[in-house]
Amino acid sequence: MTRKKLPIGIQTFCEIREDDCYYVDKTAYALKLAVEGKYYFLSRPRRFGKSLFLDTLAELFAGKEVLFQGLYCHDKWDWAKQYPVIRISFAEGVLQSRADLDEKIGEILDFNRKQLDIDPQQPSISGNFSEMIRLAHQKYGQRAVVLIDEYDKPILDNITNPDIARQMCDGLRNLYSVIKGQDAHIRFAFLTGVSKFSKVSLFSGLNNLQDITVDKRYSAVCGYTEADLDTVFAPELQGLERGKIRDWYNGYNWLGEAVYNPFDLLLLFDTREFKPYWFETGTPTFLVDLLMQRGFFTPDFEKLLATETLLSTFDVDHIASEALLFQTGYLTIVSSRNLPGMTQVTLGYPNLEVKASLNGVLLQALTVDPARYGRQAGQLYDLLLVNDFEGLQNLFTAFYTGIPHDWYRNNPIAQYEGYYATVFYSYFAALGLTVTLEDATNHGRIDMTVHFNGQIYLFEFKVVELVPEGKALRQLKNKNYTEKYKAERIPIHLIGVEFSKESRSVVGFDIETLGAGV
């Protein structure tokens, strides 16, 4: 098998094809969209191949036949027709005011004017864009194709400043509203971004977009499938454990076939090391801050219920946590079911990379000192290896007592009882251990099972101000949680952990071990 060049960071279809890079053929999706419809919207997390797919569409409509030889669409597309393509992208730079946005739009329109060799004269942004579409149709004898990449970036870059974000929204709406008005002169339009802002806030008037974000037919329109690894990337798999690749990077799903993040796999094939490549490219600070402000119970991320419509709701003045986590790629669709009048989805972590990394980042925010977290996480792993339960108790106690008093006073999350279980759970999840949440009845009373090193650890958390001391271990025993695992015939450790809201620390740590087969 011949190895090819890895297209790391390359978002240009022409370069990938001309340089003989690995390429996962997405032209079947491009052809289906181009033939069956006209106006589309697609939301995907960052670094998922949206820009490359948009560039593929651009080259398809421009009639660059030579680039498509050997691909699915080559003998199915009319190459005699070449359409004028107008491309708009906000991927570059950070815009911090409406004036900056209008100037950037002016630059983009001017670039398209030169590329198409037309000369619109209207002074306003909307007027200039409208005239450009009409003139392109007139000059080339084919209706224009409008492709918009990172349509929402000017808003997301200012999401922590609602006033500026709203101004960006107004400016972009002024631009995008032109598309519907020029319907007679448009052959095809495709918008991509990270978030799906509501029609009221951004797409007002542009109500003819077909949203293919959560559509099982297009779940794999971006990203790599298992079949892609077996075929396209087969030369790269030697020496890498396939199951580990799947655990680390697969699992993103939009109601159809699950996919891998391309950025992760390409860097894995290059370095041959398993690392959180996608996560390290930038986790929004505002995401962590928002979750802290709302006191989000991190164990809920294992299984979070939401309606499909909620996932498509995103507004400057109301950001649903579930929608934010889903659209940015930190949670994905695990399952769905149809109810009368709605579709309900279950969200969860897509893979080990996201689960471990997100919990690590949240822990650093919870425990204030990133260096302390790093040391203690390593100690936790080492203590588990030898079942040093006294050491575990001391370490868990240090988790909480090491947090400054002022932090408790100034952070809302520390005021509710689930905070204690949140910190505890996140330490295990951040290590990448197999953590299963059981019978989560309410915040602060959650059972947790950890599978590690050929043993099982059953945890029960209680807050002593709410229940009698010693209740945690008794509940583990009284509910016979061990029965579920006895058939595995491996050691089972029952651990009752009790917290005090008053002292902000661990005040009880009771352990009972059952030998294999007991």
Give percent of the chain with pLDDT exceeding 90: 59
Please report the sign of the dihedral spanned by the C-alpha atoms of residue 350, residue 153, residue 195, residue 317.
positive
HSE, CB side, 13 Å, CA atoms: give it for residue 299. Answer: 27
Report CA-CA distances (Å) from 467 to 41, 234, 463.
52, 56, 6
Q: Which band of pLDDT confidence, cut at 50, 70 and 90, is reported for residue 265?
A: very high
Q: Which residues make Cβ contacts (< 8 Å) with residue 166, sequence separation at least 6?
A: 316, 317
Token duo for residue 374: 């790093």
Q: To 10 degrees, the CA torsion angle through 320, 323, 328, 333? A: 150
pLDDT of residue 442: 40
Q: Residues 401-458: pLDDT tens digits? A: 766 665 566 666 665 566 777 788 888 999 988 888 765 434 434 578 899 999 999 9
Q: What integer pLDDT is reported at residue 244 of this predicted model? A: 97
Burial of 60 (C-beta count, 10 Å sphere; 0-12/13-18/19+): buried
Contact 458, 494 (CB under 8 A): yes
The length of the chain is 518
Give the model's pLDDT for residue 417.
Answer: 60
Three-state SS at 26: coil
Which pLDDT tens digit goes with each residue over 478-496?
A: 877 788 888 888 999 999 9
What is the number of other CB atoms lying within 10 angstroms of the CB of residue 186?
A: 22
Supply φ then ψ for residue 10, to 5 degrees: -90, 120
* pLDDT score recorded for residue 174: 92
- pLDDT per residue over 20-66, tens digit each? 999 999 999 999 999 999 999 999 999 999 999 999 999 999 999 99
Pairwise CA distance, residues 438 & 448, whole Å? 6
Average pLDDT in the 457-472 region? 80
Mean pLDDT, the chain, whole residue set: 88
Instruction: Break the chain into its structural domains and give their ranges.
Output: 25-210, 367-402+433-514
419-448 burial: b if 16+ Cβ within 10 Å, else e: bbbbbbbbbbbbbbbebebeebeebbbbbb
Cα–Cα distance, 8 to 21 (Å, whole number): 10
Q: Which CATH class is domain 25-210?
A: alpha beta
Least confident of 2-11, 65-74, 236-245, 471-480: 471-480
User: Residues 6 or more apart from 487 whose CB is under 8 A from it?
Assistant: none
Distance CA 308, CA 337 (A): 10
Q: Tell me if 360 sits within 8 A of 375, measured CB to CB.
A: no
Angle formed by the axes of helices 125-140 and 162-181, to 10°? 30
Q: CA 274, CA 432: separation in Å to the nearest integer?
A: 12
> What is the pLDDT at residue 479?
77
Q: What is the pLDDT of residues 294-325, one digit of tens each?
A: 777 788 888 898 888 877 767 777 778 888 89
Rounded distance between C-alpha atoms, residue 245 and residue 251, angstroms: 11
pLDDT value of position 443 = 42
Who has greater pLDDT, 494 or 198? 494
In terms of phi and psi (left: phi > 0; alpha: psi -120 to 50; beta: otherwise), the region of 87 is beta
DSSP state of 21: B
Question: What pLDDT, on the 0 to 100 scale, is given for residue 397?
Answer: 84
